[in-house]
Amino acid sequence: MLGLALGLASSLLACGAKAGKASDDAAAGADAASGMAASGGLAASGGGAANLVVIGTNPDGTPIYRTLVDGSLADGTLADGTAADGTALEGSAGAATTAGSDTPGVPLTEAQQAAIAAAAAENQADLAANAAANRLAEAARQAEAARQAEIRRIANLPVPDPRLSQASGVHNAAISVSLSVAQPEAAINYTLDGSAPSRDRGQRYNGPIAIAATSWLRAVAFVPGGKISAVVGADYAINEVYVAAEANGVGTPRSPLGSLASALTTAKEKNLPLIKVAAGMYTASLEIDFAVSLSGGWQTNFVARSNGLSIVRGQEAARSTKQEPAFVFKYNGAALTNAAYLEYFDLRGTDSSYSVGLFITNRAAPLVRQVASAGGFGSYGYGAMVTANASPLFRACRLSGGEGATAYGLSVDSAQATVESSWLLAGSGGVGGYGAALTDARIKASSSVFAGNAANTSYAVAFYNSSRSELENCSLVGGSGREAAAVFSSASNPALVNCLLTAQGVSKSYGYIGNYGASTPAKLQNNVFIGCASALYYVVDGRVAYTAVNGEGNLVTAEGAAFAGSIARQNAVSAIAPGAAPDYRSPAEHGWPAGQVLTGAAATDIHGTPRGASWTPGAWQVP
């Protein structure tokens, strides 16, 4: 029974005041306690907080209580039911008395007992909640300590370099590259533009990387807040192969091949459409017979175009003929259409009897742009030779016959060519010099310069059995050798519109020579003749020389006989010559008549400048 009293006393220490919060029954208990206080049953001594304490049971079973003040009974007895001197508390087995008096104890009602029990239960719940909160706080502290320990552990982990599933290489289709690192806690960041990744820069790796275009993949591994690996990488060339002089790589931008021959072999084996070549000096004689483009003049890092060209000197040939000349590049076959281009190269022919910079044959039809090409030293030199039904397009090119005894900027035989905004120059040959020569061929040229040289026989352009050729807004410079002509036509009928025709031959100097056969031009309109001291137009068959123009711009002989028909009109004669070799620029002050407005490629001049309202004849637009 004493143990029960002590338990209830412990509960009531914190909960005596809470009994007033109960419902109707609790309120009744509070009223009874109030009545007891009025009779002295709840009186406290010492001014401390007073509570009722059950210390025993009456003979009828009702509880016996005493007033508890600050942990001891008001009469000096202890809360465990013993007096201060250790004797049994008076009345513990009989009627209770209130502290400081002999007043008999008042038993608690059921409502009071219920209120006390509810308060005790609430107190126990609070104690349980506090204990649970303490347990949770301790668990959180331990978890945080564990987390911090894990952070310190991870931060000290070694981080090896990441691994790439594919090494640098050349591919003809998109590829997939996987990254891995031998540290489970490590993450990987990567870039595809060659910039260095870090823990804060790049894309987070979460699966295989699809690479569809030439890329430089770089990757780094790291652990959060800890160590970081070195940056590793590989570059991949997709649908192209790269070449740089004196390199020794695999064909990618950062590891280019070192020779054009190996690049061509790789491109053919892998069916690659493009070869990129850094500016520099190379030696090669290559035959190209499949659809591939060659793009030269790149910086060695291949980020942008350099200011120079890729220079290729041809290899010497043991034997060469006109049908099989020595060459630098040979384009051979119908697989080479205008979709296959050659750009930003300087081709230099070798020293052979027949030496060609660029040989195009057998129905090949590449686009050739921004290319310089020259024949070598030998009997015959050709900047470019076109044969056997080939049909290339030359745009913004400079073709020169080189140092051959007889030299041709361009030779077209049983084929056709289109020439736009280009220079076709005879070179330095001393026997014969031709800007262009056509045999059983056709040419369509606009805004271009054709120039002979100081050779014994020098023609800007010569036609042999060739029909339907057209020259628009071209400058035709016959040269200054023993016999010179802007145009030589034998059994051919070229059309000339808006052209400059000039020749300064020492012995004979003609604008247009019509050789034997049907050699009358299809058109001779809006042209300006300069020099041409022997004749503006000379008909060999009949020896008729037209030396002037009349008021309609038609050609007339010294006797005043006009050129028959209406093909020759609106032509003029001028004493002002074009500029010096090799550009032959038109002078700003010339007094020439206005040119006829043309469309297509002729609407821009040799440098691609649109021709304005002051349209002028020749390759150059004069401001």
Residues 445 and 470 grouped into a single domain: yes
CATH code assigned at 227: 2.60.40
For residue 470, which of 492, 502, 440 has the smallest C-alpha distance? 492
Report the C-alpha dihedral over residues 528, 534, 535, 539, rounded to 10 degrees. -140
Helix (H) / strand (E) containing 65? strand 63-69
Query: Looking at the predicted structure, is the pLDDT value of residue 360 above 50?
Result: yes
Which two structure tokens, joined as six digits, stand for 167? 């090494």
Give the distance from CA 149 to its chain's centroid: 44
Specify if 143 maps to a domain: no
554-592 pLDDT, tens digit per residue, is 999 999 999 987 789 999 999 998 899 999 999 888 888
Residues 289 and 380 grouped into a single domain: yes
Residues 278 and 194 grouped into a single domain: no
The answer to whether the beta carbons of residues 394 and 368 sit under 8 Å apart is yes
Residues 218 and 104 grouped into a single domain: no
DSSP, collapsed to helix, strand or coil, labels residue 261 as helix
Residues 110 and 46 grouped into a single domain: yes
Lowest-pLDDT range of 132-146, 296-310, 430-444: 132-146
Residues 6+ apart with CB under 8 A from 402: 348, 349, 355, 357, 374, 375, 376, 377, 381, 382, 383, 427, 428, 429
Cα 34 to Cα 31, 70, 103, distances in angstroms: 5, 20, 16
282 vs 518, residue with greater confidence: 282
535-556 pLDDT, tens digit per residue, is 999 999 889 999 999 999 999 9
461-518 pLDDT, tens digit per residue, is 999 999 999 999 999 999 999 999 999 999 999 999 999 999 999 999 999 999 988 8
**Separation between Cα atoms, residue 257 and residue 575, nearest integer Å:** 55
Residues 468 and 412 grouped into a single domain: no
Mean pLDDT of 152-176: 92
Residues 319 and 341 grouped into a single domain: yes
Report the C-alpha dihedral over residues 75, 76, 82, 85, rounded to 10 degrees. -130
Length of the chain: 623
pLDDT at residue 590, as a whole number: 86
Residues 463 and 409 grouped into a single domain: no
Residue 303 sits in which domain range?
246-420
Residues 6+ apart with CB under 8 A from 318: none
Lowest-pLDDT range of 23-37, 95-109, 376-390, 487-501: 23-37
Residues 484 and 611 grouped into a single domain: yes
- Confidence category of residue 24, pLDDT binned at 50, 70, 90: very low
Which two structure tokens, joined as six digits, stand for 597? 């407005």
**Separation between Cα atoms, residue 80 and residue 78, nearest integer Å:** 5
Look up residue 513 and give its amino acid: I
Q: How many Cα atoms sit within 13 Å of 600 on the Cβ side? A: 13
For residue 8, which of 159, 113, 158 has the smallest C-alpha distance? 113
Residues 256 and 375 grouped into a single domain: yes
101 vs 620, residue with greater confidence: 620
pTM: 0.77
pLDDT at residue 449, as a whole number: 98
Residues 292 and 401 grouped into a single domain: yes
Q: Which of 125, 150, 171 is the last residue of a domain?
A: 125
The answer to whether the beta carbons of residues 593 and 528 sit under 8 Å apart is yes
For residue 100, which of 41, 51, 49 has the smallest C-alpha distance? 41
Specify if 427 maps to a domain: no
Helix (H) / strand (E) containing 234? strand 232-238
68-81 pLDDT, tens digit per residue, is 544 444 444 444 44
Relative to beta strand 326-332, strand 528-531 is unpaired
Specify if 132 maps to a domain: no
Mean predicted lDDT score pLDDT of the chain:
86
Specify if 145 maps to a domain: no
**Separation between Cα atoms, residue 572 and residue 527, nearest integer Å:** 6
Specify if 501 maps to a domain: yes
Q: Which of 238, 256, 284 is the last residue of a domain?
A: 238
Specify if 376 maps to a domain: yes
The answer to whether the beta carbons of residues 257 and 301 sit under 8 Å apart is no
Percent of the chain residues topping a pLDDT of 90? 69
410-441 pLDDT, tens digit per residue, is 999 999 999 999 999 999 989 999 999 999 99
pLDDT at residue 429, as a whole number: 86
33-85 pLDDT, tens digit per residue, is 333 333 333 333 333 444 556 666 676 666 665 555 444 444 444 444 444 44
Specify if 312 maps to a domain: yes
Count up the domains in the chain and report the number: 4
Residues 443 and 405 grouped into a single domain: no
pLDDT at residue 151, as a whole number: 78
Specify if 463 maps to a domain: yes
